[in-house]
Amino acid sequence: DPKIIQKPKYLVAVTGSEKILICEQYLGHNAMYWYRQSAKKPLEFMFSYSYQKLMDNQTASSRFQPQSSKKNHLDLQITALKPDDSATYFCASSQDGQPNTEVFFGKGTRLTVV
Amino acid sequence: GDSVTQTEGPVTVSESESLIINCTYSATSIAYPNLFWYVRYPGEGLQLLLKVITAGQKGSSRGFEATYNKETTSFHLQKASVQESDSAVYYCALGGSAGNKLTFGIGTRVLVRP
């Protein structure tokens, strides 16, 4: 059974629209993350949260807003979508935010902006 | 900033042949980086394959090995005899910073022919 659930699996959006990527983890972890992989680029760290508080934000654009309504949820709201936002977005979690703590990943949401 | 460079894929090998995926890193923000190999099997999320947190040490898992070489800043992944089930995308990553952020390489797709 998948322990990190991302919804939807695939998403097509129109330029300028807004979408929310859903992530729930059932591992009892206290830290959650978002990563993104665009075509022909490395997986790129976006955000980290620990106990529902933002720890690190490496995303320059304010169009990307994480939302943590519960400890095991970290959704990602993306506004004013652009074609360059097309990527696979991975949610991840770890027991805590300490270095060396194993990070577990979801299967990803593939977003295409047309 | 920190960066990871790894073999560009796809890499195609025949079953029972050996495999090596090169990985080199540059860690400018982390004094003692930790090094990881993650694997993504078709239809799955990334999962940790092996990690090494001490320079000079070797990690191994599922027949794969990687040695943390601080002198050459490398962490190459090797397997002596691959199986078809090893077909996947392999990601080299470095971590060890506060917030448990991981810096990934681009990923290497490996196809094992029966």
Residue A101 burial (10 A CB sphere; 0-12, 13-18, 19+): middle
Which chain B residue's Cα is nearest to A104? B47
d(CA A1, CA A13): 29
Q: Which residues of A touch B98 (CB under 8 A)?
A: 56, 97, 99
pLDDT at A100: 78
pLDDT at A1: 65
Under DSSP, the state recorded for B8 is -
pLDDT at A99: 82
Query: CB contacts < 8 Å between A and B, how many?
Result: 74
Mean pLDDT of B24-42: 92
Residues of chain A with pLDDT under 70: 1
pLDDT at B32: 84
Mean pLDDT of B11-33: 93
Burial pattern B53-70, b for ≥16 Cβ within 10 A else e, equals: beeeeebeeeebebbbee
d(CA A86, CA A81): 9
pLDDT at B81 over 70: yes
Interface test with B, best of A43, A45, A57 (most B CBs within 10 A): A43
Token digits of residue A83: 């074609």
pLDDT at B99 over 80: no
pLDDT at B109 over 70: yes
B71 touches chain A (CB under 8 A): no
pLDDT at B110 over 80: yes
pLDDT at B105: 96
